[in-house]
Amino acid sequence: MHQEYAEQDRKILLKLAKDSIQYALSHHAMMDVTLDQLPEKLHETRASFVTLLMDHSLRGCIGSLIAYQPLALDVVKNAYSAAFSDPRFPAVSLQEVDRIEIHISVLSALEPISFESEEDLIRQLRPGVDGLVLTEQGMKGTFLPSVWESLPKPKNFLQHLKLKAGLPLNYWSNTITVERYTTESIEYEWT
């Protein structure tokens, strides 16, 4: 699979995410980033998600669906938010920081999916490839492509995405919209 980001760029993004968390633990603030010291590729306006795992379990995940700032800044902000602002978890502590694995997902642009029915949508899904954004009546949920590892069947993937969006498992309407995206994954385990 083609990687858009060179190994050096990937290492820099992971270091920025790690430094963002460590800086916040020491200074109780988000770290500033000087873009002119970073490779041009990391200046591109891109959306990202930063997922934190501890002992192979989710410890935080925050991201951007729409690209609005340079990738380096997006990763720093999302690493900080995943560690300290994910409402599902308490803030990462100094005792935990050395046990955290960082996973960065750089998103492609969102692409609307046209479908006639729920079954038609399910047929079009690409397990292991598609990240999805489901929107209905002001409610919204997204799953990264990595979620296919725990929900490999397209119907189950879609049902759980509806739950995440705040809708019932078997809910369906003709006003649901679904967009797809792909990601490039960048992973690091602190040792």
Domains located in the chain, CATH noted? 7-107 (3.30.700.20), 111-182 (3.30.1490.150)
**Is residue 191 pLDDT above 60, yes or no?**
no
**CA geometry: angle at 131 spanning 174 and 80, to 5°?**
120
Mean pLDDT of 167-178: 96
Look at 188 and 12; give whichever has higher pLDDT. 12
Buried b (16+ CB within 10 A) or exposed e, 126-158: eeeebbbbbebeeeebbbbbbbbeebeebeebb
Q: Could you tell me the pTM of the whole model?
A: 0.90
Least Cα distance to 49 among 102, 5, 6 occurs for 102
Model confidence pLDDT, tens digit, residues 6-27: 999 999 999 999 999 999 999 9
Mean pLDDT of 172-176: 96
Residue 1 pLDDT class (50, 70, 90 cuts): low
Model confidence pLDDT, tens digit, residues 35-69: 999 999 999 999 999 999 999 899 999 999 999 99
The type of residue at 68 is Y
Model confidence pLDDT, tens digit, residues 113-166: 999 999 999 999 999 999 999 999 999 999 999 999 999 999 999 999 999 999
